[in-house]
């Protein structure tokens, strides 16, 4: 089977059924030689996958991520998951740029889980940061060999040959050869080492920093694209699961009679729950397997189950929120200290303090979690093969979770990745894939597990409920001389270790211990908080609560000093400088501070740019009910400044008139996708700030669907979103999560400017914004 010319062809040209005997380990050879184990299209309920065949010896594959066919077709392996960010296009564009490939002759092959590819977790705003250089090196490797092949063909020095738009040319003549014509010779050459590569200068970049439609766009718009919810395997069953309503609960008894009477129901299966910490294993419960999702759903709802609810059945978020507030108003564990903040505050004649709170939040992706698994077993019940087809952010995590659950080597689990109907971190947690695998093993045929919206909202890995206490001693001009800050929330670590009850250093570093202000006395603490649910990372993670508190408190300090908030921000940040990460004990997300310094000048710059775009100077002249708010953050190694304009009617109706966001995330690969992510971040952050709240009573989540866990609608959304991307040559930093951190505090600061009402706890919907 020849390599299709475009990604669009991968969606329409496949015709062979998947053979479970195909070894996942051969994928990279197959993908880079034109023979692919790759999801293509579904029709008539059947999975259509490009058939694996013998490795084509005619293809030139000098690197795991790229191959070139004799006809000149370049195939790039995309190993990150596509969920709207454009990464399935962006990383191959970086490679194609360095290769000097014609983008119209580049095809993209989606990789399965394979640790040889490096990190595959499309999470943490790391894809471009982790693989920008790696993609350039892959492209440069292929380009260098093609140039050497041309030199050998012509009998000239390689220095006289250069690649240009899918051909190699000779500087001393008008000779040229297409990439395909050079494949046979290039295959015989030694692959150069990294230090032998010469990367293109920025001035010669052809695709990096330029807009282009993502390769999946036409299929997405036309409804032809394949998402996890569309995944099909031959002879598959559908499953919907009744899970314990309280985390850690178990089935005491079940009456299956009514469920089995539903037309289409094939079987009812108990799933064991996790032991110890939840990790990425199933919650347990009872699954109904049927010939359609609807029949499985109706069968699930007909089950009569008595639950042993377990130790978390008393969890009440109203009570827990008060406990967290009490915790942050008592001394905690110090993570960073400069000077003598506690003593200075105790002796100060003027202090400002405030307590902030953020509730549990749910990921609530539009496409709920879903996976189809096909598990084969020997006569003795031993698992011999497992194929997972799913919308996942991390196929290697699927392998790591499914393998032990089936008693097989994780590397032997084949996990193919569909497009994702959003994820926000939820789909990097593969408990749903384990459910599908266990059920397929039981049924002896493929099983597709679908979570309903109610399942999604009531059994999530929730964002942590949090409390933050901020306190400062200020001088006569209102500038802080000492800053004390305490946070308390259930740590994500509790999902993996039931004993974990204190925020980890990396969590605290998201807007808490990385406090950037020029204050001589600092004390930054964390308090204990036990998790009663599954706590997980959500887009922007702990920046959600910690930046909300910090940027809100800056605004409160400015108001207490009767100062302009922008001027106060800039003065508080101090001189342009770089934070001493080592002295502060900061991990910097594992990045080298030489490449990714905490640059105060860049943070100040995005604040100034957002303010300038918003015409900040008009703030003092705005009438009652209208206001501008400002906030800034360094998040996932990128910098944002937000200014938000609101109109609050006397009855409290809130209208977001304008959002201005300035972003400095270093080198940008795909400007249009960055703009889209910042616009989407504005909508998501507005949803969370205005409505986001998951509550628990008797251990059970009280919200069940979008009627009780509200999303912003068209009437709620900002009238205009203005995106300003800083032109930068710095190393590429985060984007997807970076745009969230400073939105909510800027919004709440704008509400204060408009009404005089200070929002210290989210969501805004819990507050009366009316004024007279």
State pLDDT tens for residues 574-632. Answer: 999 999 999 999 999 999 999 999 999 999 999 999 999 999 999 999 999 999 999 99
pTM for the full model?
0.93
Is the predicted pLDDT of residue 98 greater than 90, yes or no?
yes
pLDDT, tens only, 55-85: 368 899 999 999 999 999 999 999 999 999 9
Average pLDDT over residues 537-565: 98
3-state secondary structure 58-79: CCEEEECCEEECCCCCEEEEEC
Q: Quote the CA–CA distance of 757 and 771 in Å, as a whole number.
A: 9
> Which pLDDT does position 52 carry in this prediction?
29
541 and 644 both lie in a single domain: yes
pLDDT band at 7 (very low <50, low <70, confident <90, very high): very low
Q: Quote the CA–CA distance of 105 and 405 in Å, as a whole number.
A: 42
3 in a domain, yes or no?
A: no
Residue-number span of the structural domain to which 51 is assigned: 17-221
Is the predicted pLDDT of residue 771 greater than 60, yes or no?
yes
Instruction: Express as a percent the part of the chain with pLDDT over 70.
Output: 93
Q: Which residue has the tokens 């590429």?
A: 732
134 and 197 both lie in a single domain: yes
275 in a domain, yes or no?
A: yes
Contacts of 552 (CB under 8 A, 6+ apart): 354, 356, 631, 745, 748, 749, 758, 759, 760
Question: pLDDT higher for 16 or 707?
Answer: 707
Q: Quote the CA–CA distance of 244 and 467 in Å, as a whole number.
A: 28
Exposure string for 237-246, b = 16+ CB within 10 A, e = fewer: bbbbbbbbbb
Q: Which of 696, 269, 652 is nearest to 447 (CA)?
A: 269
User: What is the distance in angstroms between the CA of the first residue and the CA of the last residue of the chain?
Assistant: 73
Q: Quote the CA–CA distance of 490 and 361 in Å, as a whole number.
A: 13
Is the predicted pLDDT of residue 201 greater than 90, yes or no?
yes
484 and 412 both lie in a single domain: no
Q: Quote the CA–CA distance of 748 and 763 in Å, as a whole number.
A: 10
Choosing from 169, 200, 221, the residue where a domain stops is 221
Q: Quote the CA–CA distance of 770 and 772 in Å, as a whole number.
A: 7
> Which pLDDT does position 19 carry in this prediction?
30
The CB density around residue 461, as the number of other CB atoms within 10 Å, is 21
Q: Which residue has the tokens 């969890």?
A: 315
Q: Which of 348, 388, 391 is nearest to 372 (CA)?
A: 388
User: To the nearest whole number, what is the mean pLDDT of the chain?
Assistant: 93
> Which pLDDT does position 470 carry in this prediction?
98
Contacts of 567 (CB under 8 A, 6+ apart): none
pLDDT band at 172 (very low <50, low <70, confident <90, very high): confident
Average pLDDT over residues 247-269: 98
Half-sphere exposure in the Cβ direction for 629 (13 Å, CA):
33
456 in a domain, yes or no?
A: no
Choosing from 450, 476, 499, the residue where a domain stops is 450
Average pLDDT over residues 131-140: 98
675 and 557 both lie in a single domain: yes
113 in a domain, yes or no?
A: yes
Q: Which of 734, 740, 744 is nearest to 124 (CA)?
A: 734
Q: Quote the CA–CA distance of 413 and 386 in Å, as a whole number.
A: 5
771 in a domain, yes or no?
A: no
Is the predicted pLDDT of residue 166 greater than 60, yes or no?
yes
Q: Which residues pair with 42 in a beta bridge?
A: 47
User: How many structural domains are present in the chain?
Assistant: 3
Q: Are the C-beta atoms of 631 and 749 separated by less than 8 Å?
A: yes
478 and 570 both lie in a single domain: yes
Is the predicted pLDDT of residue 562 greater than 60, yes or no?
yes
CATH number at residue 434: 3.30.365.10
Instruction: Express as a percent the part of the chain with pLDDT over 90.
Output: 92
Burial class (CB in 10 A: 0-12, 13-18, 19+), 186: buried
416 in a domain, yes or no?
A: yes
SS3 261: coil
pLDDT band at 113 (very low <50, low <70, confident <90, very high): very high
641 and 751 both lie in a single domain: yes
Q: Which residue has the tokens 């989540």?
A: 701
Exposure string for 579-589, b = 16+ CB within 10 A, e = fewer: bebeebebebb
Q: Are the C-beta atoms of 80 and 122 separated by less than 8 Å?
A: yes
Exposure string for 348-364, b = 16+ CB within 10 A, e = fewer: beebbebbbbbbbbbbb
Q: Which of 334, 443, 439, 433 is nearest to 388 (CA)?
A: 433
Q: Quote the CA–CA distance of 135 and 737 in Å, as a whole number.
A: 22
Q: Which residues pair with 473 in a beta bridge?
A: 351, 482
Average pLDDT over residues 677-684: 98
Q: Quote the CA–CA distance of 325 and 469 in Å, as a whole number.
A: 8
Q: Quote the CA–CA distance of 530 and 665 in Å, as a whole number.
A: 35
pLDDT, tens only, 278-337: 999 999 999 999 999 999 999 999 999 999 999 999 999 999 999 999 999 999 999 999
Choosing from 386, 420, 450, the residue where a domain stops is 450
Q: Quote the CA–CA distance of 621 and 747 in Å, as a whole number.
A: 19
679 and 544 both lie in a single domain: yes
4 in a domain, yes or no?
A: no
Q: Quote the CA–CA distance of 14 and 32 in Å, as a whole number.
A: 17
pLDDT, tens only, 238-256: 999 999 999 999 999 999 9
Q: Quote the CA–CA distance of 752 and 764 in Å, as a whole number.
A: 12
Q: Quote the CA–CA distance of 390 and 225 in Å, as a whole number.
A: 14
DSSP assignment of 285-327 = EEEEEESSHHHHHHHHHH-EEEEE--TTTT--HHHHHHHHHHH
Provide φ and ψ at 677, rounded to 5°.
-65, -35
The secondary element (H helix, E strand) that includes residue 678 is helix 671-690
Q: Which residue has the tokens 């030694």?
A: 190
Sheet holding 521-527: strands in order across? 333-338, 521-527, 480-488, 466-474, 351-358
> Which pLDDT does position 1 carry in this prediction?
25
pLDDT, tens only, 334-356: 999 999 999 999 999 999 999 99
Start-end of H helices in 158-216: 179-186
Q: Which residue has the tokens 């109610």?
A: 454
Distance of CA 28 to the CA centre of its chain: 25
Q: Quote the CA–CA distance of 165 and 186 in Å, as a whole number.
A: 17
2 in a domain, yes or no?
A: no
Q: Quote the CA–CA distance of 312 and 328 in Å, as a whole number.
A: 23
203 and 62 both lie in a single domain: yes
374 and 357 both lie in a single domain: no
639 and 701 both lie in a single domain: yes
> Which pLDDT does position 37 carry in this prediction?
35
Q: Quote the CA–CA distance of 554 and 559 in Å, as a whole number.
A: 9
The secondary element (H helix, E strand) that includes residue 747 is helix 743-755
Q: Are the C-beta atoms of 573 and 603 separated by less than 8 Å?
A: yes
Q: Quote the CA–CA distance of 56 and 38 in Å, as a whole number.
A: 16
SS3 569: helix
> Which pLDDT does position 12 carry in this prediction?
27
Q: Quote the CA–CA distance of 228 and 235 in Å, as a whole number.
A: 17
Q: Which of 374, 377, 376, 403 is nearest to 388 (CA)?
A: 374
Burial class (CB in 10 A: 0-12, 13-18, 19+), 195: exposed
Q: Encoding tokens for residue 447? A: 């099983």
The secondary element (H helix, E strand) that includes residue 92 is helix 87-99
465 and 555 both lie in a single domain: yes
Q: Which of 741, 751, 769 is nearest to 358 (CA)?
A: 741
Distance of CA 56 to the CA centre of its chain: 36
Is the predicted pLDDT of residue 234 greater than 80, yes or no?
yes
Start-end of H helices in 381-509: 395-406, 431-443, 453-458, 505-508
Q: Quote the CA–CA distance of 282 and 275 in Å, as a whole number.
A: 10
SS3 351: strand
333 and 445 both lie in a single domain: no
């Amino acid at each position: 089977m020849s390599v299709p010319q475009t990604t669009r062809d991968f969606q329409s040209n496949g015709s062979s059924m998947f053979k479970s005997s195909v070894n996942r380990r051969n994928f990279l050879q197959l993908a880079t030689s034109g023979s692919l184990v790759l999801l293509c299209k579904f029709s008539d309920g059947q999975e259509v996958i490009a058939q694996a065949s013998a490795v084509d010896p005619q293809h030139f594959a000098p690197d795991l991520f790229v191959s070139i066919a004799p006809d000149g077709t370049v195939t790039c392996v995309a190993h990150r998951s596509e969920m709207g960010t454009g990464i399935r296009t962006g990383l191959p564009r970086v490679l194609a740029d360095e290769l000097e490939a014609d983008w119209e002759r580049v095809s993209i092959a989606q990789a399965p889980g394979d640790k040889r590819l490096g990190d595959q977790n499309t999470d943490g705003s790391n894809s471009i940061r982790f693989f920008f250089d790696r993609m350039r090196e892959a492209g440069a490797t292929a380009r260098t060999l093609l140039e050497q092949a041309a030199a050998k063909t012509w009998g000239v020095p390689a220095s006289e040959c250069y690649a240009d738009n899918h051909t190699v040319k000779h500087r001393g003549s008008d000779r040229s050869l297409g990439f395909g014509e050079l494949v046979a010779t290039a295959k015989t050459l030694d692959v150069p080492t990294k230090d032998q590569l010469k990367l293109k200068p920025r001035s010669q970049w052809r695709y990096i920093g330029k807009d282009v439609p993502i390769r999946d766009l036409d299929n997405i718009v036309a409804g032809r694209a394949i998402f996890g919810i569309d995944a099909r395997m031959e002879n598959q069953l559908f499953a919907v699961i009744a899970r314990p309503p309280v985390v850690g609960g178990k089935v005491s008894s079940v009456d299956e009679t009514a469920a089995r009477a539903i037309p289409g129901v094939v079987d009812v299966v108990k799933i064991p729950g996790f032991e110890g910490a939840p990790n990425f294993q199933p919650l347990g419960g009872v699954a109904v397997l049927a010939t359609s999702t609807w029949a499985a759903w109706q069968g699930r709802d007909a089950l009569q189950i008595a639950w042993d609810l377990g130790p978390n059945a008393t969890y009440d978020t109203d009570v827990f929120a008060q406990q967290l507030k009490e915790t942050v108003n008592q001394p905690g564990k110090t993570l960073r200290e400069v000077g003598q903040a506690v003593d200075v505050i105790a002796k100060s004649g003027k202090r400002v303090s405030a307590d902030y709170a953020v509730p549990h939040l749910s990921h609530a992706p539009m496409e709920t979690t879903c996976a189809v698994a096909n598990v084969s077993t020997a006569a003795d019940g031993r698992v011999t093969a497992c194929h997972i087809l799913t919308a996942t952010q991390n196929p290697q995590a699927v392998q790591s979770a499914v393998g032990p659950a089936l008693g097989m080597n994780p590397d032997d689990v084949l996990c193919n990745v569909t497009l994702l109907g959003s994820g926000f971190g939820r789909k990097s947690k593969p408990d749903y894939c384990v459910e599908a695998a266990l059920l397929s093993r039981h049924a002896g045929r493929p099983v597709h597990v679908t979570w309903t919206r109610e399942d999604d909202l009531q059994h999530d890995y929730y964002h942590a409920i949090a409390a933050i206490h901020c306190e400062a001693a200020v001088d006569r001009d209102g500038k802080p001389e000492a800053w004390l800050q305490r946070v308390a929330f259930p740590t994500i670590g509790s999902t993996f270790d039931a004993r974990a009850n204190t925020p980890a250093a990396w969590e605290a570093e998201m807007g808490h211990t990385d406090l950037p202000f020029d204050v001589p006395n600092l004390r930054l603490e964390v308090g204990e908080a036990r998790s009663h649910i599954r706590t997980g990372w959500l887009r922007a993670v702990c920046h959600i609560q910690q930046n909300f508190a910090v940027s809100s408190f800056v605004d409160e300090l400015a108001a207490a000093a009767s100062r302009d908030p922008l001027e106060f921000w800039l003065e508080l940040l101090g001189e342009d400088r770089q934070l001493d990460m080592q002295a502060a004990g900061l991990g910097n997300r594992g990045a080298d501070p030489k490449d990714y310094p905490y640059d105060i000048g860049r943070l100040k710059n995005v604040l100034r740019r957002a303010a300038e775009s918003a015409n900040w100077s008009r703030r003092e002249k705005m009438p009652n009910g209208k206001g501008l708010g400002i906030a800034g953050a360094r998040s996932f190694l990128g910098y944002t400044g937000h200014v938000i304009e609101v109109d609050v009617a006397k009855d409290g109706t809130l209208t977001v008139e304008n959002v201005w966001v300035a972003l400095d995330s270093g080198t940008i690969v795909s400007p249009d996708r960055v703009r889209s992510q910042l616009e989407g971040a504005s909508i998501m952050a507005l949803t969370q700030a205005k409505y986001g709240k998951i509550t628990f009573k008797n251990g059970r989540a009280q919200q069940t669907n979008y009627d009780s866990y509200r999303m912003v609608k068209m009437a709620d959304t900002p009238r205009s979103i203005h995106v300003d991307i800083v032109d930068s040559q710095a190393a590429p930093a985060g984007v997807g999560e970076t745009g969230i951190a400073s939105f909510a505090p800027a919004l709440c600061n704008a509400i204060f400017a408009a009404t005089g009402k200070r929002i210290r706890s989210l969501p805004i919907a819990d507050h009366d914004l009316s004024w007279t």
